[in-house]
């Protein structure tokens, strides 16, 4: 088996497209897409996509090159049977995928340092979900399932193909719709905005293997209790009634009894119990968007998601900031005009206008965050069932139908 491993390794490096597809292309996509879109939204998909490149392109092409060599026929007459060969092949390409993932991780830390280490802490950065609990365990499990799935898909393609060109064609036909409809390049919440496109994407099996990788690696500031993700300055804008302690906790004093609020759910219960409405900041009292969005954030139960891929009983939701840079630019230009030309409006909105002119937009990002349900409980079960079922089927098929030549 060691000699078989060495043979696969030599052919992997011999075909120049193997290393390029596995190591170079994912890095280029990470840097390009990470700067075009928000890196927080595309990072999980880049890892999943690099593995799909390895499984659907690099693996079948290397195997087909081997099949066309005379050396491969001698392997077929040796004690190495298809099952052993399958095990060795899976092991080798899992090893390649792990190296590729580490290269992507290092590139992310170097190229997107501010997103990895944001001002409100590493836990809220793009790697916060992966290095949290249960996110880390869920990420290892979901990545292993996805990796096994794509490797077995590659072996399946190499088994039914007769030439390298045929393997490449089949791989590309599967690859291109998959990377656009499974959440690898276009995030699932964007796909979900179109009902027709969302249903089409559900027919793509890679949506399910990628789904758990997205769930397990999404940063903390995009899931869970929004109350926990607010910075002190953001809380100060919302609660302008001297209820903030030095560490940013919210404490309400009712008839001499202090109530500490630890979550949005606690805050909603507190309001229902005492019938006390929050005093909004004077900076925001004239902004209609405030009441709608913040109350929605408090009342929406689906917002309490986490990185646990085995939490099948609840739908999984994510919070996004839609085109916030475009909105910032528009509002900056708007306030520059009204503060110069309209004294009444300028006086009313002077505090918030000053913040905008100083490029302080923390308040805006709070009220633009919306909660989108991306995976229903049934889909969360399918995220495990679909890739595991196909991997088992492909293993049986390859073991029974693998041929030691391309003819």
CA distance 398 to 407: 16
Q: What is the DSSP letter of 328?
A: H
| E-state strands within 271-314 | none
CA separation for the pair 163, 283 (Å, rounded): 68
190-226: pLDDT as tens digits: 888 888 999 999 999 999 999 999 999 888 777 876 6
- Largest CA-CA distance found in the chain, in angstroms, rounded: 90
- Reported confidence tier of residue 148, pLDDT bands at 50, 70, 90: very high
| Residue spans per domain, the chain | 2-224+374-401, 229-280+290-303, 322-368
Prior bond of 134 cis (ω within 30°): yes
Say what the pLDDT of residue 235 is: 66
Residue bearing tokens 């390409």: 93
Residues 165 and 148: their CA atoms lie apart, in Å, by 24
pLDDT in tens, 370-390: 677 889 999 999 999 999 999
Helix (H, G, I), strand (E, B) or coil at 89: helix
What token pair was written down for 83? 């099952």
pLDDT of residue 285: 46
Structural contact between residues 212 and 138, judged by C-beta atoms closer than 8 angstroms = yes
Q: Which residue(s) pair with 261 in the sheet?
A: 250
| Confidence grade of residue 44 (pLDDT, cut at 50, 70, 90) | confident
Question: How far is the C-alpha of 303 from the C-alpha of 298, rounded, in Å?
Answer: 9
């Amino acid at each position: 088996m060691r000699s078989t491993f060495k043979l696969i390794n030599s052919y992997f490096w011999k075909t120049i497209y193997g290393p390029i597809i596995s190591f170079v292309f994912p890095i280029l996509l990470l840097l390009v897409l990470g700067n075009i879109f928000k890196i927080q939204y595309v990072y999980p998909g880049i890892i999943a996509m690099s593995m799909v490149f390895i499984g659907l392109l690099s693996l079948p092409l290397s195997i087909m090159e081997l099949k066309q060599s005379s050396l491969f026929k001698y392997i077929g007459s040796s004690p190495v049977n298809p099952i052993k060969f399958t095990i060795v092949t899976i092991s080798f390409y899992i090893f390649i995928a792990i190296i590729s993932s580490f290269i992507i991780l290092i590139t992310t830390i170097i190229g997107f340092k501010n997103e990895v280490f944001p001002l409100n802490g590493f836990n809220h950065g793009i790697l916060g979900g992966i290095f949290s609990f249960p996110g880390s365990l869920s990420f290892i499990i979901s990545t292993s399932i996805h990796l096994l799935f794509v490797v077995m898909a590659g072996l399946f393609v190499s088994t039914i193909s007769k030439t390298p060109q045929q393997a490449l064609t089949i791989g590309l036909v599967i690859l291109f719709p998959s990377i656009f409809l499974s959440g690898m390049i276009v995030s699932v919440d964007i796909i979900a905005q179109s009902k027709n496109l969302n249903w089409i994407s559900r027919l793509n099996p890679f949506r399910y293997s990628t789904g758990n990788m997205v769930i397990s690696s999404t940063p903390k500031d995009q899931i869970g209790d929004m109350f926990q993700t607010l910075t002190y300055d953001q809380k100060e804008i919302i609660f302008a009634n001297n209820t903030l302690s030095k560490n940013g906790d919210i404490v309400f004093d009712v008839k001499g009894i202090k109530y500490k609020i630890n979550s949005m759910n606690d805050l909603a219960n507190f309001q229902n119990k005492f019938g006390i409405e929050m005093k909004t900041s004077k900076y925001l009292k004239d902004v209609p968007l405030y009441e709608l969005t913040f109350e929605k954030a408090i009342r929406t139960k689906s917002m309490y998601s986490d990185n646990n891929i085995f939490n099948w009983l609840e739908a999984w939701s994510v919070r996004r900031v839609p085109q916030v840079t475009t909105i910032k630019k528009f509002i900056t230009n708007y306030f520059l005009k009204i503060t110069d030309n309209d004294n009444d409006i300028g006086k009313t909105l002077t505090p918030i206008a000053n913040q905008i002119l100083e490029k302080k937009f923390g308040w805006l990002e709070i009220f633009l965050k919306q909660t989108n349900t991306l995976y229903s409980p049934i889909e969360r079960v399918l995220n495990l069932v679909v890739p595991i079922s196909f991997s088992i089927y492909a293993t049986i098929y390859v073991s029974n139908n693998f041929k030691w030549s391309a003819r």
